[in-house]
Amino acid sequence: MSSALVWFRRDLRDFDHAALYHALKHHDQVFCAFVFDTEILDCLPGRCDRRVEFIHASVVELDGVLRARGSGLIVRSGPAREVIPALAASLGVNAVYVNRDYEPAAIERDTEVAERLRVLDIGFADFKDQVIFEKSEVLTQGNSPFSVFTPYKRAWLKALTPFHLKSYPVEKYMARLAPWPAGEVMPGLAELGFEGTNLRELGIAPGMGGGRRLFDDFLKRIARYKAKRDFPAQKGVSYLSVHLRFGTVSIRELARSAFELGGEGAETWLSELIWRDFYFQILWHHPHVVNASFRPEYDQVRWDDKPEWFAAWREGRTGYPIVDAAMRQILHSGFMHNRLRMIVASFLTKDLGIDWRRGEAFFAEHLNDFDLAANNGGWQWAASTGCDAQPWFRIFNPVTQSEKFDPDGAFIRRYLPELAKVPAKFIHAPWTMPPIDQQLAGCVIGKDYPAPIVDHAQARERTLARFGVVKGNPDEA
C-alpha cells in the first residue's frame, strides 16, 4: 500500500482541495496534518490574536469533519520545517502533498522541507489551489509578467475556461482517508500559548461553516455589490476576506458563482478576485516588493519621521473623522472596509508623509485577513510606489472622501461616539463648527475631539514636493 500525508496550511477545508484530491487519487491511504508553526507564531507581538483563534477554531472544525469520515487531523506545534519531515517519516508515507504558497518565506520553508524529505526518500508535491491563475500562467504578448491591472484582467478573462473554475471531486476518493492515529490529541488554544479574543462577540464565525453562511448571504446581495461596496456604513461587501485568507472557502467556487451569475454586481466582485490573483503574481515575480518599492526609483522618496503623528494615526486621533473611525474599527475588530483602507493609507503617506512600510506593518499586525500579497499591493498602490499605483499627484482629500462615502456620517458616529451629536453639516470636518455649536454638541474641538494634526492643503503641497524629487513637475506627468 502506498500512503501520503496532506499538510494543510491556508486551505482549511475538506472540499475542492487540490492537494487532498491528488493525494487521495494516487495513494491507498492518506493522512492529514496541520502544524501551528512556531516560527510564525513566535513572531506575533501578543498572545491574544484573532487570527490564531480563527485558525484554531477552523482546525477543530476540520478535524471534526474528518473524524466523521473515520479519519482525523494530526495537529502539531513547532517549527513546520522540522515537524513535517519527522511526522512523514514516523507515519512511513511515500509523499507529502501541499497547496502552493507564494510568499518568499513560505517558498524558502517549503524548499527546505522538500529537501529534508528527499534525504528521507519521501516525495514532495505541491499544487495550485488558492488562486485561479498563478505564476506565469497569464503573461503579456511579449511573454513577460503584467504590471498594470486592466490589461492583466483582460488577459485573465481571455484565458479563463470552465476547467479553471471546476471543483476538485475530493468526495469521490474520501474512503482512502487513513484512520486517525491512536493517542492523538487536539491542543487547546491555551496549550498553544494563546488567549481567547472577541472573535465570537464580533460575530465572526470561523471554519467552513462560517464561510458557507457568509457566502450564501452574499449571493443574495451580490447584484447590489457595485452600488454599495464603497459605503462602509452599508452591508455592501462579502466579508469573506478572512475565509479566503485561510482557505475555509474555495476560490474556484467563488469565482465560478460570480462568473455564472453575471450582471454588474457579480462582474465587479469577480474583478476584485482577479485583483487578488494579480497581486499574488506580482509577489511571485517581484519578491523584492516585500521590503522595497515595486518601482526602485521611488525608494529615493524621503519620508518624514514623526512618531507623534504616527501614534495619532494608529490610535484614531488625527482630527479627521473618517480616518479616525476607520482606525478605531480595525483596533476593535481586526476588520477595515476596503474604501477605508485606501483613505487611511493615503492619509498616512500623503497627508502625514510617513513611510508606507510603517502602515503596511501595522495592518499586518491587526488585520484578521492579513495577506502579504494584497496588503503590500494595496499599500504601494496608495503610496504611489507600486505597480499600477494611484498617480503620486492624485491625493485623496479625507473630507471629500468622507462626504462621498459616508454622507450621513453613520459610520463615523458608530466608531466615534464623541461626535454623536455633531450636526450632519459638520460631521466630516468638525473643526469648522462655531464654538456655540461645539458646546451644544458636547464636542469641544481640542478637548473632546482633537483638532486636525495637519492641514490637508499644506500637506498636499509637501507631498507634491516630496515626489517631485523623483518624477519632476506633476503638470508634466
pLDDT, tens digit (0-9, with 9 covering 90-100), for 372-431: 999 999 999 999 999 887 788 889 999 999 999 999 999 999 999 999 999 999 999 999
What is the amino acid identity at position 411? Answer: F
253 is catalytic: no
Rounded CA separation 239/224 (Å)? 14
Asked if 303 is an active-site residue, the reply is yes
Q: Which of 137, 338, 403, 431 is catalytic?
A: 338
Share above pLDDT 70 across residues of the chain, in percent, rounded to a whole number:
98
| Domain final residue, candidates 285, 311, 346 | 285
Strand partners, 32: 6, 73
* List 180, 379, 381, 392, catalytic entry: 379
Q: Do residues 357 and 244 both lie within one domain? A: no
pLDDT in tens, 278-300: 999 999 999 999 999 999 999 99
- Mark whether 347 and 459 lie in a shared domain: yes
Based on the fold, state whether residues 113 and 146 are members of the same structural domain: no
Q: Which residue has the cell 466608531?
A: 415
Give dist(CA 235, CA 48) in Å, integer: 28
Question: Does some domain include residue 125?
Answer: yes
Mean predicted confidence (pLDDT) in 342-367: 97
Residue 269 bears catalytic tag: no
**Whether pLDDT at 473 is above 60:** no
Torsion angle defined by CA atoms of residues 269, 53, 64 and 6, in that order, rounded to the nearest 10 degrees = 70
Read off the pLDDT of each residue in 310-339 and give the average, rounded to a whole number: 98
Domain that holds residue 326: 296-470
Indicate whether 87 and 106 sit together in one domain: yes
pLDDT computed for residue 472 by the predictor: 52
Give the number of domains in the chain: 3
In sequence order, what DSSP letters do the residues of 98-142 get, joined into one string? Answer: EE---SHHHHHHHHHHHHHHHHTT-EEEEE--S-SS-TTSS--TT
- Residue where a domain stops, chosen among 259, 285, 311: 285
Closest by CA to 360, choosing from 375, 347, 370, is 375
Domain assignment present for residue 179? The answer is no
Q: Which of 134, 267, 272, 365 is catalytic?
A: 272
Q: Which of 303, 365, 403, 431 is catalytic?
A: 303
Quick check: 354 and 310 in contact, CB under 8 A? yes
Q: How many Cβ atoms from other residues are within 10 Å of residue 213's Cβ?
A: 11
| Residue 415 shares a structural domain with residue 321 | yes
The model's confidence at residue 470, banded by pLDDT at 50, 70 and 90, is confident
Residue-wise pLDDT for 199-211, tens only, equals: 999 999 999 999 9
248 shares a domain with 160: yes
Catalytic-role residue among 356, 360, 381, 397: 356
The average pLDDT across 105-132 equals 98
**CA pair distance 137, 22, nearest whole angstrom:** 21
Given this model, what pLDDT does residue 477 score?
Answer: 31
For position 475, what pLDDT does the model report? 38
Q: Is 379 a catalytic residue?
A: yes
CA atoms of 88 and 399, how far apart (whole Å)? 57
Question: Which of the listed residues 261, 285, 309 is the one where a domain comes to its end?
Answer: 285
User: Is residue 356 annotated as a catalytic residue, yes or no?
Assistant: yes
- What pLDDT does 182 receive? 83
**Domain of residue 51, CATH code:** 3.40.50.620
Helix axis angle, 263-285 to 149-159, nearest 10°: 110
Catalytic-labelled residue, pool 180, 275, 313, 381: 275
Dihedral in degrees, nearest 10, Cα atoms 360, 230, 399, 408: -130
Give the pLDDT confidence of 153-203 residue by residue, as tens digits: 999 999 999 999 999 999 999 999 999 888 889 999 999 999 999 999 999
Query: Residue 159's pLDDT is what?
Result: 98
φ, ψ at 390 (rounded to 5°): -55, 125
Is 324 a residue whose pLDDT tops 80?
Answer: yes
